[in-house]
């Protein structure tokens, strides 16, 4: 997701993903907003940076039991890599 986009995933699963770009195996968020809610899951994803999610200048919210699980990074941040992020919310 890029440049002003917003997405809300409800009762969703992103699983068994990897990236060739090196950032955000499950999702890459750049200048955008991503909300996972209703028990959404990002699991078993792989990247060099931010195995589950990579957020750059955006907002990420993990709500209502949403989980990052078993994600791995070759370099940094297995679950979530946040750079220049305005807000990361967990409720």
Report the DSSP beta bridge partners of residue 24.
none
Q: Is pLDDT above 90 for 80?
A: no
Question: 36-62 pLDDT, tens per residue?
Answer: 999 999 999 999 999 989 888 888 888
User: Alpha-carbon distance 60 to 37, whole Å?
Assistant: 11
**pTM given for the model:** 0.80
Confidence band (pLDDT; 50, 70, 90) for 82? confident
- Fill in the DSSP letter of residue 63: -
85, HSE (Cβ side, Cα atoms, 13 Å): 21
């Amino acid at each position: 997701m890029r440049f002003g986009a917003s997405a809300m995933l409800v009762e969703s699963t992103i699983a068994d993903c990897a990236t060739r770009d090196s950032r955000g195996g499950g999702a890459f968020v750049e200048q955008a907003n991503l909300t996972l809610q209703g028990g959404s899951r990002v699991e078993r994803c792989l990247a060099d940076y931010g195995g589950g999610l990579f957020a750059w200048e955006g907002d990420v919210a993990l709500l209502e039991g949403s989980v990052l699980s078993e994600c791995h990074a070759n370099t940094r941040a297995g679950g979530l890599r946040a750079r220049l992020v305005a807000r990361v919310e967990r409720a």
